[in-house]
Amino acid sequence: MRILMMEGNPLDVQEKARKIGVGTASEVYTRAIRFFDPQVEIDIVNAADGEKVPQGKSFSDYAGMVISGSSLRAFDSTAEVTNQIDLLIDFAKTGKPILGSCWGLQIAAIAAGGKVGPSENGRELGVARKIHLTPEGTEHAFLQGKPIFYDAPCIHYDEVTELPKTATLLCGNKHSAVQGAIIPIENSEVWGVQYHPEFDVTQLRMLFELYKKDMINQGFINTEEDYSFFMKHIRTLEADPDNKTSGWLLGIDQDILDGNIRGLEIKNWLDQLR
């Protein structure tokens, strides 16, 4: 099976990430997919930079498309944004399944006539707390196996402020009313979430290191001492996910720590391709 992965960030942003030892959004997502299917073949397309499909390939070569996260803002009208929306719409004409996290959900909403804007609640960073399933979410194959309430890895300033009329809301929380939805586009459906089921604790630790100043300035952490305490226990969980003390102190449970639970959305989507 072969999947087309649309990298959400432009090439220059990817290069900056690599220079500081951080994986690109598509690299992170590729690892998460291969956790469930080590044999899957994945081709990356840099749509922000104008790529349409890898050389020598066509949409017919792929079972589906995955859209990674991005540091871009979906409501901007730059070519880096509109190129990705255009490619999403073109691929959706095939009728094949599409999966999107964070950025993927947002550009799908715009492509289908919805709206995206800055969240009134500011940034949601690290863990999206107490996401709750709607009645539709409890029954849809995308979220099968998820409890009624759960936490998930996340980082975003923007959110879907208005779903397309044809979309189905699957889940939300106090921070963002739209945490997951099914969005029909052309002949396909995008299964999208605002959070990041592809992020493990290592990825979260790197985010917390990168956003240390923001965490303190925006009130997530009060002092340098608090940050050191927090990071000590994040690193403990990274090395030992079963450490009860660190998990309890940070309020991080198996819905974050166990890849089989955290990534159920990815597994459920892959199951639809087979």
Would you say how long the chain is, in residues? Answer: 274
| Residue 27 CB partners (closer than 8 Å, separation 6+) | none
Confidence of residue 274 (pLDDT cuts 50, 70, 90): confident
**Residues 3, 41: Cα–Cα separation, whole Å:** 6
What pLDDT is stored for residue 17 in this prediction? 87
* For residue 227, pLDDT beyond 90: yes
Residues β-bridged to residue 122: none
pLDDT in tens, 138-174: 999 999 999 999 999 999 999 999 999 999 999 999 9
The torsion region of residue 146 among left (phi > 0), alpha (psi -120 to 50) and beta comes to: beta
pLDDT in tens, 47-104: 999 999 998 999 999 999 999 999 999 999 999 999 999 999 999 999 999 999 999 9
Does residue 21 surpass a pLDDT of 90?
A: no
In the chain, % of residues over pLDDT 90: 95
Burial 23-57 (b: 16+ CB within 10 A, else e): bbbbbbbbebbebbbeeeebbbbbbbeebebeeee
Which whole number is the average pLDDT over 12-39?
93
DSSP code for 47: G
pLDDT at 179 over 90: yes
Query: Is residue 20 very low, low, confident or very high in pLDDT (cuts 50, 70, 90)?
Result: confident
How would residue 22 be classed by pLDDT, with cut points 50, 70 and 90? confident
- With residue 98 as reference, give the H or E element that holds it: strand 98-101
List, for residues 118-135, the tens digit of each pLDDT value.
999 999 999 999 999 999
Q: Please report where in the chains the tokens 């921070």 appear, as a residue.
A: 175
* pLDDT tier at 28, thresholds 50, 70, 90: very high
| 194: DSSP letter | S
- Report, as an integer, the average pLDDT of 245-269: 97
Split at pLDDT 50, 70, 90, the class of 27 is very high
Tokens 């996260």 belong to residue: 69
CATH code, residues 2-199+257-273? 3.40.50.880
User: Quick one: what percent of the chain has pLDDT higher than 70?
Assistant: 100
pLDDT at 229 over 90: yes
Kind and range of the H or E element at 234? helix 224-239
pLDDT in the model for residue 23 = 87
Cα 32 from Cα 173, distance rounded (Å) = 24
**Token pair for residue 240?**
């030992």
Report domain extents, the chain: 2-199+257-273, 201-255
Tokens linked to 35: 């956790």
Averaged pLDDT score across all residues of the chain: 96
pTM: 0.95
